[in-house]
Structure 1
Amino acid sequence: MAAFTAQDVKALREKTGCGMMDCKKALTSADGDMDKAIDFLREQGLAKQAKKASRIAAEGVAYATTSDDLSVGVVIEVNAETDFVAKNDSFMDFVKTCANTVMTQNPANVEELLTLKADGTDMTVAELLQEKVLTIGENIQIRRFERMEGACVAYVHAGGKIGVLVNFDTDLASKPEFVAYGKDVAMQIAALNTPYLNESEVPEDVIAHEKEVMRQQVINEGKPEAIADKIVNGKINKFYKENCLIDQEFVKDNKQSIKQYTQNTAKELGGKIDILKFVRFEKGEGIEKRQDDFAAEVASMVK
């Protein structure tokens, strides 16, 4: 048994930034010698990977895909440091492998996904991720994913800026006309960043807040308080039309709503279509991006 303690593992982790298990493995290999353990991690590329992992990754892609029969769909976001990497075939192959692994093995979360054998390889997703970090030279992170079962249609906007997955209850999934309709719905969600499917999904506290703001606006406009509530009710209906997918005007034909477009399509194709849910991922949303000071960087290099 190698002579090292938990404190040695902690110390090695602090020096290299590597994971606890990797540090324990390194110390075991080095018989507890700290310097040899650091060399081991460097040789394995783990120290380099850990250093990259501290850098902000807010670029990359949002990607969505389905099985051939549309019965399973996945939308996933994988981040890198620069938008240039999103155009890298090796990076995109990794993203697609991750999506396929989610599709076939149904992990509960990103942590579980990392432990799974990546589809079509002899490596775990974590090992494949490590390889991509070392070969591409940037911090890469699998941020999130959603998996749906049932009739699904996927849409990727602007080369991976936005990924949308829509789930339907339908008996028309085999028809190409249904897929075209589904793409239209997904494109609408991508373009308008629709927050809710229908009125019942809007939280009560959101409606209460909107009503209070609208009521104050009406009173500030000089309208009598006695009719303020009636005016607010009309404004709330407009809020639903703007924020609920099925109530929105269809962007390709504003004479009908998405609900009407759905009903018309189902009737034309001789079946049923109900939109059950959707997920929209926008690359890097909510991540604080690094603000590079190029002049300062150059200055530091010539000191």
Structure 2
Amino acid sequence: MNISAQMVKELREKTGAGMMDCKKVLEASEGNIDQALEMLRQKGLASANKKSQRVAAEGIVESYIHTGAKIGVLLELNCETDFVARRNEFQSLAKDIAMQVVASPNIEYVSVADIPEEIIVEEKRIEAGREDLANKPDNVKDKILKGRIEKRLKELSLLDQAFIKQSDITVEELIKKHIALLGENIQLKRFEKFVVGGGAPKETNNFADEVAEILQNK
């Protein structure tokens, strides 16, 4: 059956689970809200968003140096207690996210909410000036422009990237699954990517393909 945005919204408000998780269980339950709610509870996802409001001041700084030592990443992943910070699942999550940064060459921010307003304004200016929009009615142009801007901003956001090891979920959804698993709020605080040569103009390797190859060979 067709799962409406209103049904997803209703289930999300009741459970605090992620949008994609809500949509998947609604599809599996053929739109039965009560059954979908039970499925979320069984998966431990119903309270993930509620936990995400709690203070996360512990955690770790994770590093990942890509093969060849030409590119590396440092990131800070936070949780609520040092006990969880020492868990293998938490540390593996941090490592996976660090690899994700290397595999996502376009990202510059943790989330869309972190993107400065001046960047958004500039992206809107560029998209609005594209030739294919010139002769379209204003209402159509505005709709197309909105979709393109949302897509572009998500390209810059780490949390909105498809997870390299499981492409049907985003990095944000991956973190929420670990919130449910570990029972604590988990937040990606910041990250920094280091590339040998900095911004010097030269031919570079496709690090995303190299990371994918490493994962396939494991």
2:75 matches 1:166: yes
Which residue of 267, 271, 280 corresponds with 2:180? 267
Which amino acid counterpart does residue 241 of structure 1 have in structure 2?
K
Give the letter aligned to residue 193 of structure 2.
Answer: R
Partner residue of 2:196 out of 276, 279, 283: 283
Partner of 1:202: 115
Q: CA deviation at 1:218?
A: 6.4
Amino acid at match of 2:86: S
Q: How does 1:142-161 map to 2 (within 5 A)?
A: 150-161=59-70
SS at match of 2:130: helix
Equivalent residue for 2:140? 227
C-alpha deviations, 1:147-185, integer Å up to 9, x for none? xx9521111102311110110221321011111111110
Distance (whole Å) between structure 2 residues aligned to residue 199 and residue 257 of structure 1: 13
SS at match of 1:286: coil
Instruction: Assess, with a 3 A threshold, how the Cα gap between structure 1 residues 232 and 288 changes in structure 2: closer, same or farther.
Output: closer
Alignment of 1:246 onto 2:155: no
CA distance in 2, matches of 1:190, 1:238: 20
Shift of 1:229: 1.7
Query: Bigger relative contact order, structure 1 or 2, given CA contacts below 8 A and separation 6+?
Result: 2
- Provide the TM-score with structure 1 as the length reference: 0.43
Per the normalisation by structure 2, the TM-score is: 0.59
- Once the two structures are TM-superposed, the CA of residue 246 in structure 1 deviates from its matched residue by 0.9
Q: Which runs of 5+ in 2 are unaligned?
A: 1-57, 203-218
Q: Distance in 2 between matches of 1:198 and 1:169?
A: 15
| CA distance in 1: counterparts of 2:78 and 2:91, whole angstroms | 13
AA aligned opposite 1:166: L
Contact persistence 2:59–2:85 (CA under 8 A): no
For the residues of structure 1 that align with 2:159 and 2:101, how far apart are their CA atoms? 11
Tell me the equivalent position of 2:126. Answer: 213
- Any idea what SS the aligned residue of 1:179 has? helix
Equivalent pairs: percent with the same residue? Answer: 34
Residue matched to 1:33: none
Residue matched to 2:89: 177
CA distance in 2, matches of 1:209, 1:184: 32
Are the aligned partners of 1:162 and 1:283 in contact in 2 as well (CA < 8 Å)? yes
Structure 1 distance, partners of 2:119, 2:149, is 11
Aligned length: 141
Distance apart, 1:256 and its partner CA: 1.0
- 2:85 aligned counterpart, secondary structure: coil
User: CA distance change for structure 1 residues 256 and 288 in 2, over 3 Å: closer, same or farther?
Assistant: closer
For residues 131 and 201 of structure 2, the distance between their equivalents in structure 1, rounded to whole angstroms, comes to 37
Query: How far off its partner does 1:219 sit?
Result: 4.6
Unaligned 5+ residue runs, structure 1? 1-148, 290-303
Query: Deviations 1:196-251 (Å, cap 9, x if unpaired)?
Result: 11112212221111112212226546422332122211111111221101111112
Distance 2:131 2:92 in 1: 42
Q: Give the letter for the 2:72 counterpart.
A: G
**Alpha-carbon distance in structure 1 between the residues aligned to 2:200 and 2:129:** 34
Equivalent-residue separation in structure 1 for 2:131 and 2:60 (angstroms): 44
Contact 1:240-1:247 within 8 A present in 2 as well: no
Partner of 1:183, secondary structure, is helix
Larger radius of gyration: 1
Give, in whole Å, the separation in 1 of the partners of 2:122 and 2:201: 28
Aligned residues of 1:219 and 1:225 also touching (Cα < 8 A): no
Matched, 1:186 2:95: no
Provide the C-alpha distance between the structure 1 equivalents of 2:183 and 2:94, rounded to a whole number of angstroms.
16
- Give a deviation string over 1:230-284, Cα, whole Å, max 9, x none: 2211111111221101111112212111111001012112222100001110111
Counterparts of 1:150 and 1:173, CA distance in 2: 5
